[in-house]
Amino acid sequence: MTPPGYSDADAAALYDHLNPWGPSDDFYLSYVMAAPAVLDVGCGTGMLLHRAREGGHTGRLCGVDPDGAALARARRRADIEWVQGTAAEMAWDREFDLAVMAGNVFQVFVTDEDLRASLAATRAALVDGGRLVFGTRNPGRRAWEGWNPSNPIDVVDHAGRELRISYRVESVSGEVVGFTETTATRAGAPLRVDRASLRFLDAEGVDRFLGAAGFQVEQRYGDWSRGPFTDTSDNLVTVARVA
């Protein structure tokens, strides 16, 4: 029998299922609630801004993402602005007090050119003294080494389907890791295969790109409880300010 496949809408719903609210979201939310106008770059399905509005944020909330299926879920709340597009395409001029890149969005900018353009557009969207808050996985922890089919994740999705999600690294080229995410039945029949690449920049690399884009690092943490960053931290968490 031909597998029924797994639609983009299903995949967006599955994303929320696989990524429930966690400590990183609490971290980002604390900044969002304190800022009058917030830009969520790579907002995905919009969970962070939804929660901000539900939590009483009365200012401007705006999410940007190129993924139409994810944005369709985000648009379930109409009291937030949702814009389809990439970070590099953003054209705001000093309108936001805070930009966030939650869920390691920073890592999707794999080329120098895209990273520079994405940071420049984010910088331009921020008011003088505005902040960019984001995390990226610490390359020293080599998280991708655990992304292999011998570590599948079994889930029951939003529609009650029993699924097996697995990852396979296809390439490691310098700082860029290419991999697949396969959504399959529990018996192993693939329903959908998504390909992605992520860049693992170290702290010096992050700071170099931030500095060139006109940001100054204000705080550096190694976890979502604001612990210090060390070589063994899983995350490289940065609070940067427009210089």
Q: Which stretch binds ligand SAM (CB under 6 A): 59-67, 120-128, 131-139, 210-218?
A: 59-67
Minimum CB–partner distance for residue 59 and ligand SAM (Å): 19
Shorter beta-carbon distance to ligand SAM: residue 111 or 230: 111
Q: Binding residue for ligand SAM (CB under 6 A) from 59, 66, 139, 140?
A: 66
The verdict on 84 binding ligand SAM (CB under 6 A) reads no
Minimum CB–partner distance for residue 130 and ligand SAM (Å): 18
Minimum CB–partner distance for residue 111 and ligand SAM (Å): 10
Shorter beta-carbon distance to ligand SAM: residue 53 or 185: 53
Give how many residues touch ligand SAM by CB under 6 A.
17
Q: Which of 201, 232, 222 is nearest to 106 (CA)?
A: 201
Q: Binding residue for ligand SAM (CB under 6 A) from 42, 130, 135, 222?
A: 42
The verdict on 119 binding ligand SAM (CB under 6 A) reads no
What residues numbered 85-104 form the site for ligand SAM, per CB under 6 A?
86-87, 102-104
Q: How far apart are CA 9 and CA 12, in angstroms?
A: 5
Q: Binding residue for ligand SAM (CB under 6 A) from 11, 67, 135, 136?
A: 67
Give buried/exposed letters for 138-158 (b at 16+ CB in 10 A, else e): bbebebbeebeeeebeebebe
Shorter beta-carbon distance to ligand SAM: residue 11 or 203: 11
Shorter beta-carbon distance to ligand SAM: residue 83 or 217: 83
Chain residues that interact with ligand SAM, rule: CB under 6 A: 19, 41-44, 47, 65-67, 70, 86-87, 102-105, 108
